[in-house]
Amino acid sequence: IHGSCMCMVIKEVIVVRTDLDMGQGKIAAQVGHACVLCAEHVRKSNPEWFSEWWIGQEKVVLKVANLKELEQLKQDAIELDVPWSEVTDAGHTQLAPGTTTCISIGPAPEENIDKITGDLKLL
């Protein structure tokens, strides 16, 4: 809750794999892809959440150790009906084509996202 406003907090969380040894620029590009993909998805599927999120565009970038952990987060998002998008690399630079690098969860209510990512550490 923000001040006297009864609006819900909407945020977007991007979760990046750390086992791929991506450079900082590569990570930044992958996170950018994830932000745009999921924001556009939510803009179309839940315009109320998008409008609330757009004001401040809260984003948090977290990490997981491997693809298995990333896949579990995706499953949790599906089970809780929280929007998500997955980024797979085109393979032009550091990674093999089709490598899943990160996922974005939300923009969605913070309480829903925290059920999925609340135990993860910041990247």
pLDDT digits (tens, 9 = 90+) for 3-30: 445 568 999 999 999 999 999 999 999 9
Residue 5: the pLDDT is 53
Specify the pTM. Answer: 0.92
Mean pLDDT value of segment 87-104: 95
pLDDT digits (tens, 9 = 90+) for 69-95: 999 999 999 999 999 999 999 999 899
C-alpha–C-alpha distance, residues 117 and 123, integer Å: 13
